[in-house]
């Protein structure tokens, strides 16, 4: 079982102080050791094979530079593949391929998967926040990609991460799992939902479980978190206990929701039943389920 959820473990120095100095950033743009990581809405540019890794290219950031940070002292920028001319995009690819972030996360080592999630999260935010939310004016890149500034009203905007709670809920040794419409056949998972304004994460756990299944849970305990840039979530993983009851889909989010025995969930890990499939290992949902299983006697 993994020590931490996938997409965690990014090791770059984010250069949080240096990036505020435009002269320093300009110096990084002309440093021969600087490289760019390329990612678009379809995924990240990576090389597969025995040692899969993200491609570090010499493609220069054009327009607004988005600095990811420093790797062994050398700058790494994120460049939006979708904004590159086709010829440059082809030349930069150099035998590598664009791989969707979920698939990339399943094969890349943790530090590379974390870097991929980070680059996608930052590019997603810039792509969707070109205009000031306060006055509608176009905004300017600031802090080498860590902020956007509105020249008209002076507002500063910072990259969004939207908190989502996701939780194992247990009663009498059984686990609450639900199924959403549109998921692959047989797939079930733990419940999840966005934290609402004016609500703690713990309160969101109790509310979401009750809204989606009618089940009352209590004593949520935080387990681990995971960046989930689809497009901008931060998954907050919890475990909660329940006194049971008959779950039923109540708010239209789920098609089905049931208590599942330890034996059934264990069988599903080995993929025995095509009608009962657990979420993929790249998700914190699976991390939480595996952790729940690992805590049970063999
Ligand atoms: Zn504004």
Residue 52 · residue 108 · CB < 8 Å:
yes
Residue 174 · residue 265 · CB < 8 Å:
no
Separation between Cα atoms, residue 161 and residue 121, nearest integer Å: 9
Q: How many CB atoms lie within 10 A of CB 50?
A: 4
CA of 143 to the centre of ligand 1 (A): 17
CA of 81 to the centre of ligand 1 (A): 28
CA of 287 to the centre of ligand 1 (A): 41
Q: Output the pTM of the full model.
A: 0.94
Q: Kindly report the three-state secondary structure assignment for every residue of the chain.
A: CCCCCCCCCCCCECCCCHHHCHHHHHHHHHCCCCEEEEEECCEEEEECCCCCEECCECCCCCCCCEEEEEECCEEEEEEEHHHCCHHHHHHHHCCCEEECHHHHHHHCCHHHHHHHHHHHHHHHHHHHCCECCCCCCECEEEHHHCEEECCCCCCEECCCCEEEEEEEEEECCEEEEEEECCCCCCECECEEEECCCCCCHHHHHHHHHHHHHCCCEEEEEEEEEEEECCCCEEEEEEEEEECCCCCCCCCCCEEEEEEECHHHHHHHHCCCCCCCECCCCCCHHHHHHHHHHHCCCC
CA of 25 to the centre of ligand 1 (A): 25
CA of 136 to the centre of ligand 1 (A): 6
Place of tokens 């094969």: 107
CA of 134 to the centre of ligand 1 (A): 5
CA of 60 to the centre of ligand 1 (A): 29
CA of 152 to the centre of ligand 1 (A): 5
CA of 34 to the centre of ligand 1 (A): 33
CA of 133 to the centre of ligand 1 (A): 7
| Tokens representing residue 225 in the block | 């978190």
What percent of the chain has pLDDT above 70? 100
Separation between Cα atoms, residue 103 and residue 280, nearest integer Å: 10
CA of 144 to the centre of ligand 1 (A): 19
CA of 159 to the centre of ligand 1 (A): 16
By CB atoms closer than 10 A (0-12, 13-18, 19+), residue 115 is: buried
CA of 125 to the centre of ligand 1 (A): 17
CA of 158 to the centre of ligand 1 (A): 13
CA of 139 to the centre of ligand 1 (A): 7
CA of 160 to the centre of ligand 1 (A): 17
The model's confidence at residue 11, banded by pLDDT at 50, 70 and 90, is very high
- Does the structure show a pLDDT above 90 at 261? yes
Residue 280 · residue 106 · CB < 8 Å:
yes
CA of 22 to the centre of ligand 1 (A): 22
What average pLDDT does the segment 248-252 reach?
A: 91
CA of 194 to the centre of ligand 1 (A): 27
CA of 153 to the centre of ligand 1 (A): 4
Instruction: With both helix axes pointing from N to C terminus, report the angle between 262-269 and 284-294 in degrees, rounded to the nearest 10.
Output: 120
Please name the residues in contact with 38: beta carbons below 8 A apart, sequence gap of 6 or more.
44, 45, 55, 57, 59, 78, 79, 80, 81, 84, 92
- pLDDT tens digit string along 85-136? 888 888 888 779 999 999 999 999 999 999 999 999 999 999 999 999 999 9
What average pLDDT does the segment 266-277 reach?
A: 87
CA of 63 to the centre of ligand 1 (A): 20
- Report the pLDDT value the prediction gives residue 165, as an integer from 0 to 100: 98
CA of 79 to the centre of ligand 1 (A): 25
- pLDDT tens digit string along 59-97? 988 888 999 999 999 999 999 999 898 888 888 887 799
């Amino acid at each position: 079982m993994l020590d931490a959820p996938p997409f965690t473990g990014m090791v770059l120095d984010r250069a949080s102080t240096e990036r505020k100095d435009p002269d320093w950033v300009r110096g990084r743009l002309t440093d021969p050791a600087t490289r760019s990581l390329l990612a678009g809405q379809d995924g990240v540019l990576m090389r597969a094979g025995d040692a899969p890794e993200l491609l570090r290219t010499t493609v220069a950031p054009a327009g607004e530079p988005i600095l990811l940070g420093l790797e062994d002292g050398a700058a790494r920028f994120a460049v939006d593949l979708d904004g590159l001319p086709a010829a440059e995009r082809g030349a930069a690819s150099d035998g590598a391929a664009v791989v969707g972030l979920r698939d990339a996360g399943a094969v890349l080592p943790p530090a590379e998967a974390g870097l991929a999630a980070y680059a996608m999260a930052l590019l997603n935010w810039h792509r969707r926040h070109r205009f000031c939310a306060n006055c509608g004016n176009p905004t300017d890149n600031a802090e080498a990609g860590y902020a956007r500034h509105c020249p008209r009203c002076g507002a500063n905007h910072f990259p969004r991460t939207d908190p989502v709670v996701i939780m194992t809920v247990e009663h009498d040794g059984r686990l609450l799992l639900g199924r959403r419409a549109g998921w692959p056949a047989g797939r079930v998972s733990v419940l999840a939902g966005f934290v609402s304004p004016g609500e703690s994460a713990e309160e969101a756990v109790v509310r979401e479980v009750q809204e989606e299944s009618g089940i009352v849970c209590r004593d949520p305990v935080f387990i681990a978190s995971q960046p989930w840039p689809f497009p901008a979530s931060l998954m907050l993983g919890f475990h909660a206990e329940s006194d049971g009851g008959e779950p039923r889909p109540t708010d239209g989010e789920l098609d089905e929701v049931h208590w599942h025995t330890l034996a059934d969930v264990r069988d599903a890990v080995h993929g025995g039943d095509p009608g009962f499939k657990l979420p993929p290992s790249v998700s914190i949902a699976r991390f939480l389920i595996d952790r729940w299983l690992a805590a049970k006697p063999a």
